[in-house]
Structure 1
Amino acid sequence: MTMPLLKRLQHARNAALALVVTLALCHPCRAQAPPVVMGGADKRVTMIGADGVETFSFVAHEGAVHSILFSRDGRRIISAGADGVVKVWNVDDGSLEQAMDTQDGPVYALALRDDQTVLASGSSDGRIRLWSPNTGKLQKTINAHSRPIRALAWSPDGTLLASGADDRVIQVWRADGTQAASIVGHDEAITGLVWSSDGRSLISGAADGYVKLWSTGDFALASRYKASDKSLSAMVGTVDGHLLATAASDGRIRVYTVTGKGLSQVITRLLEREALCLAWSSDGKVLVSGGADRALRYWKGSDLSVIMKVSASEGSITAVAVDPR
């Protein structure tokens, strides 16, 4: 055997061995990654399995997908987009089950009540619409804001719905559509709303860079935090209410612990480009981000170390949700 041929064989063997070692090292990391669904500027809804491989992908809307979520049992995906339509999809095969047309501009926010009987959508016309996700029937329309709605959140017991909009106002609504509170507490548009797990606090994030906690007894300001010098683009809390994550236009993702006394910052990570959307796994161990770089990143919730990165979109990733099962 000639020396050049031997060297080529040795090089090939080493490369193959390196590949095996790389896959072996990545396998435990990938096992921690939950299934994820994302929506993007490319109009598509895409399901990514726990192994980081695409399960299905299809054009879902006539424009960007602005919001996406799973039903509580993980059997359905609900998406909303620039076309003003809210759609319900079957997780197993991606088939369309319901289509709810608001007939009046883009839908930017969705929130499904825990009992899965009422779906709230927030639109560019400032209206909240309450739907039956099972039948697609419109139950109620609320004239909520004077500007586009960017955030919606149901209280844990399902009795209150909070909404936030470009008009800088947080509104709180009872389940029957009557107003429970109105809060003017930010200098810029509201971009995120999260209830504490016990329902005693409402947390808001805004384009002014502040995160604020409101006591739900009288909706008075309990505490505030300067999360960023730039606009907050996303804010999500874990199911148990112990962790809160924010993303800002400066490219930073921050994770806070939530206590009875307020927030304390855990850790920060800087991305080259802004994260536009965030989602927690149901156990709070994994945070998933998507953004302008067209990649999903899976972060370990405790220290924001990277578990996995998936380049999975032809445009910016604008919405993401984690399978709750």
Structure 2
Amino acid sequence: MSYHAYLSILVLGSLTGMVYGADAPVSFRTDIAPILQDSCLACHGAKKAEGGYRVDSYKELFKAGDSGESPIGANANDPSELVRRISCDDESERMPAESEPLSADQIAKFQKWIAEGAKFDGENPAQTLALVIPPPTYASPPKHYGHPVPITAVAFSPDGRTVISGGYHELNVWNVENGALVRRVPNVGQRVFAMSFSADGKTLGVGCGEPGKSGEVRLIDFATGEVKGVTARTSDVVLDIAFRPGTSELAVASADSSIRIVDMQTLKDVRTIASHADWVTSVAWSDDGKLLASSSRDKSAKVYDGTSGELISSYLGHGDIVRGVSILPENKQVVSIGDDSKLHRWNIADNKKVAEVGLGSDGSKIVRQGDNVLIPCVDARVQCVDLKSNKVAKEFKGHSDWVLSVTFQPGQNDPANELVASGSFDGEVRLWKVADASLVRSWSAKP
């Protein structure tokens, strides 16, 4: 250790109380982990560990790298290589490398944390930093967007009077009658990929996150717009969610390749299904909640026992990314779509395809309503497939960019009042009549 580095540590140690607050204990969750994630994780994570050293969890933080030096001393008097590196004045040794050094306040936090015993104040020392750090309260979105954001999720409110679209760190609620912005619901993840209402219509589940960094499900009290809870936090975005009929469970599909079943009363994981080898793009329960289906970027669609999570069926007929899936009534067949421009209909019992519908375009998630399924497609259409004839029955045309999301609103016993809402990559929301696929209205979904 150089004299200047040693002196800086002594000075920082003496100033810790003044810089950070003598009576405020340093928290690994709220003070140390965010610094590690923002400044150190890029070079010292599970996938890339420069010098053989990782900081992606509290447990890994204490393991020596290739140098063999102890990163964190057993007590405040023992050498700590981590502190030496972040406070070193030699740029060839100082961390983070080839970047701005940590501030005096940040280094002081590490000093004080180690002096206090380098304690862990989370639930599981092996959890990744993203899960250890408390859920953030996101800053309010800008008053006006400079440009539209892709509409990767849309949903009708339970009363059918409004359409909800995902924005930037918010949800935007629009009036069905005139397309006017009714209200904005802040404090959600950077991008919204899925929305689903609970059976009582009071809670809106929002699957969201920041690509490559974090994902979560936020539970919104729809009447007030308040966040009631945050669950299913993970290291990459949540791509789909589905409430299990008749239960308090929620299935969560993530880009970390997992499916998590969460109890919505306790916000705790019930089980994790790790059957896919790549992003899980969608999940869907059977109507009775006995079966769960999933699709994945690993080119497969699968079916599981809804209670145990045991794998029942695996379909590999697409030969390309599978993006949407739905279990048909009677729990005997599944329909799935993806990047091969076809709707596949296949048996759960033997994984055999029984029908195929050419779409002429790659499809995204599937929304099933009765004997029909709606499929948003990248050729700027929403296609409606009649499951009785296995043919395209209707096309909703008019978007000028990829259609990424679609939702259906029943007509309260009057088919003439049935509506479809769709969202596209260029930020447009369109509202259609189901009966004749005619356009009701459209608007750019940006405040």
- CA deviations 1:186-245 (Å, max 9, x no partner) are 1211111122234332110101111011123433211011112x321333111xx22212
1:310-321 equivalences under 5 Å are 310-313=443-446
Letter in 1 for 2:327: W
1:244-259 equivalences under 5 Å are 244-259=373-388
1:169-180 equivalences under 5 Å are 169-175=300-306, 176-180=308-312
Letter in 2 for 1:75: K
The counterpart of 1:185, out of the listed 294, 311, 317, is 317
**Greater per-residue strand proportion:** 1
Determine helix, strand or coil for the equivalent of 1:232: coil
- Does residue 194 of structure 1 match 2:326? yes
**Equivalent pair of 1:116/1:133 in contact (CA under 8 Å):** no
Which stretch of structure 1 is more off in the superposition, 160-169 or 198-207?
Answer: 198-207
The counterpart of 1:72, out of the listed 199, 203, 208, is 199
Shift of residue 123 of structure 1?
A: 1.0
Letter in 2 for 1:177: G
Gaps of 5+ in 1: 1-31, 315-325
> CA 1:101–1:267 in structure 2 vs 1: closer, same or farther (change >3 Å)?
closer
Letter in 2 for 1:258: L
Partner of 2:436: 303
Distance 1:126 1:282 in 2: 33
Partner of 2:173: 47
Distance 1:222 1:46 in 2: 41
Shift of residue 264 of structure 1?
A: 4.2
> CA 1:114–1:55 in structure 2 vs 1: closer, same or farther (change >3 Å)?
farther
Distance 2:204 2:169 in 1: 15
- TM-score (norm. length: structure 1): 0.80
Post-superposition, which runs of at least 4 consecutive aligned residues in structure 1 deviate over 4 A?
Answer: none
**Equivalent pair of 1:111/1:154 in contact (CA under 8 Å):** yes
**Equivalent pair of 2:250/2:263 in contact (CA under 8 Å):** yes
Distance 1:37 1:70 in 2: 11
Distance 2:378 2:359 in 1: 11
The counterpart of 2:409, out of the listed 277, 281, 285, is 281
- CA deviations 1:44-79 (Å, max 9, x no partner) are 212224433333213333421111111122111100
Partner of 1:209: 341
Gaps of 5+ in 2: 1-158
Which stretch of structure 1 is more off in the superposition, 283-292 or 164-173?
Answer: 283-292
Partner of 2:427: 294
Shift of residue 269 of structure 1?
A: 1.8
**Equivalent pair of 1:202/1:216 in contact (CA under 8 Å):** yes
Determine helix, strand or coil for the equivalent of 2:387: strand
> CA 1:34–1:199 in structure 2 vs 1: closer, same or farther (change >3 Å)?
farther
Partner of 1:28: none
Across the aligned residues of Structure 1 and Structure 2, the Cα RMSD in angstroms comes to 2.0
Letter in 1 for 2:312: A
Rg (Cα) greater in structure: 2
The counterpart of 1:262, out of the listed 390, 397, 412, is 390
The counterpart of 1:138, out of the listed 249, 260, 269, is 269
Shift of residue 33 of structure 1?
A: 6.2
Shift of residue 287 of structure 1?
A: 1.0
**Equivalent pair of 1:191/1:207 in contact (CA under 8 Å):** yes
Count matched residues: 278
**Greater per-residue helix proportion:** 2
**Equivalent pair of 2:281/2:297 in contact (CA under 8 Å):** yes
Which stretch of structure 1 is more off in the superposition, 264-273 or 275-284?
Answer: 264-273
The counterpart of 2:399, out of the listed 271, 275, 286, is 271
> CA 1:174–1:236 in structure 2 vs 1: closer, same or farther (change >3 Å)?
same
Which stretch of structure 1 is more off in the superposition, 218-227 or 144-153?
Answer: 218-227
> CA 1:295–1:258 in structure 2 vs 1: closer, same or farther (change >3 Å)?
same
